[in-house]
Structure 1
Amino acid sequence: MTDEKPRHSSAVTLDRILAAARDSFAENGFDGARLDRIARSAGVTKQLVYHYFKTKEELYGVVLDRVAEEVHAMLDDPDYDRMTPVAAIGALIGRIMQNYEERPYLVGITVDQDLHKGEHVTRRSQYLPAVRKFVDGRIAPILERGAATGEFRDGIDPYLFYWSIFALATACFTQSWSMSRSSGIDFASAEGIALWRDHVTGFALQSIARVALPR
């Protein structure tokens, strides 16, 4: 009993540090985030942060790994295999957007990671292997089933398709201000997000349909 409490306390402290770091990196980017502010936000000393992480780069890499793990756990769903190909694509797009709607920090993390060209994605990181596993294990079979039933065209590249729908689906979060101001549609509202989800789903399905879908 005596050593259970310290382990639990240590895990909670580490979670607080990682959550504070995640939010700081999302808001300020890697370059703007400061370990003293992260420590203060987590309610710990800067020395304790250094106890767990020797450098800011190491902390950022762990945050990226944890965020990637959350995202792919959310996106993955064995029910895709039981859905029709068309329904599975709609569900996938819905999950991508739900991820960003429920986790506002993803916008800042995504933009900052690409800005640094993956510089802080560590060699042991599971981010890229997780993407490949998801595309090969989930996206490719959906497209293959759709081609077999005659709903989708043959030969659709699963990686091109995944990153196309990912970029489109997340646009109303990463480019919300520009889209809203230029169109007059409030893409930060629940109604605007739902409108964009329906548009992206229809657009994606039209792009891979063997025969043009009725509008």
Structure 2
Amino acid sequence: MAELRPVFTLADARDTIVEAALIAFAEAGFHGATMRDIAHRAGVSQGLVHHHFKGKEALWNFVGERISADFLAYVGEALAPGEPGPDTVPQALRRYMQYWKEHPTAFRFNLWRLLEGATAERRSRSVSITGRGVPLFKQAQDAGFIRNDMPAGLAMIIAGSLVQFWLHSQTEIRDALAVTAADALDDSDFLEHVLDLIRPPAGMNRRGSSKGRRRS
């Protein structure tokens, strides 16, 4: 089943090539995947792959761009326009987690991005994601729903990084909880712990200072 939304007509087979490339890159990374393997998976000639996408780096970049676009559309569909409410950031994080759970091949590709992706492609993805996410967290801070004693961007990165760790490190999490015989967690339990880290602590006002604290 295809994970990426089709963007081309079926006649030129480019969507099939992109999906084949996603699978190949997710399995072997940029350096391990080959254009020959991608062509074989897509059921087309290697020459046709080169004709449409020129080379492996261009194809890698295109796959990455498609994942980022699909991801932003998926998360954005769940967010109501206008001022953020108390459930805006929790809902965004739930959608963030759900996207990667529903798109495991894209998730593996994303991990390879961190290990050996081209710097320019990784930077482009970072700019597109943070450009949408950080303003949302800043609005939530200004509304008093997110703690204001750290930059909004850091709050977003902490939450997102923990969700990714949850998805790829279940063995480590399960073993860590077992040391103290702590109860197992499901997705909702874990997200609540993450949200507790970025919500305003009791007694903190919207400026990030504790009520009653006198500043010299």
Q: Secondary structure at the match of 2:87?
A: helix
Cα gap change, 1:80/1:155 in structure 2, threshold over 3 Å: closer, same or farther? Answer: farther
- Counterpart in 2 of 1:132? 130
Q: TM-score, normalised by structure 1?
A: 0.76
Note the C-alpha offset of 1:101.
Answer: 0.7
Equivalent pair of 1:35/1:56 in contact (CA under 8 Å): yes
Which residue, out of 171, 178, 183, partners 2:177? Answer: 183
Q: Bigger CA drift: 175-184 or 87-96?
A: 175-184
Which residue, out of 163, 186, 193, partners 2:187? Answer: 193
Partners in 1 of 2:122 and 2:91 — Cα distance? 31
- Counterpart in 2 of 1:4? none
Say which structure is richer in helix: 1
- Counterpart in 1 of 2:103? 103
How many aligned positions are there? 191
- Counterpart in 2 of 1:90? 90
Q: Please tell me whether residue 211 in structure 1 is matched to residue 209 in structure 2.
A: no
Q: Bigger CA drift: 170-179 or 87-96?
A: 170-179
- Counterpart in 1 of 2:56? 56
Name the amino acid aligned to 1:135: G
Q: TM-score, normalised by structure 2?
A: 0.76
Q: Give the alignment of 1:1-215 within 5 angstroms.
A: 8-11=9-12, 13-76=13-76, 77-79=78-80, 81=82, 83-84=84-85, 86-116=86-116, 118-119=118-119, 121=121, 125=124, 127-146=125-144, 151-183=145-177, 192-205=186-199, 208-209=200-201, 211=203
Q: Secondary structure at the match of 1:121?
A: helix
Residue ranges of structure 2 left out of the alignment (5+ in a row): 1-7, 179-184, 205-216
Q: Bigger CA drift: 164-173 or 130-139?
A: 130-139
Partners in 1 of 2:173 and 2:166 — Cα distance? 7
Name the amino acid aligned to 2:66: R
Residue ranges of structure 1 left out of the alignment (5+ in a row): 1-6, 185-190
List, as ranges, runs of 4+ consecutive aligned residues in structure 1 with deviation greater than 6 Å: none
Name the amino acid aligned to 2:88: A
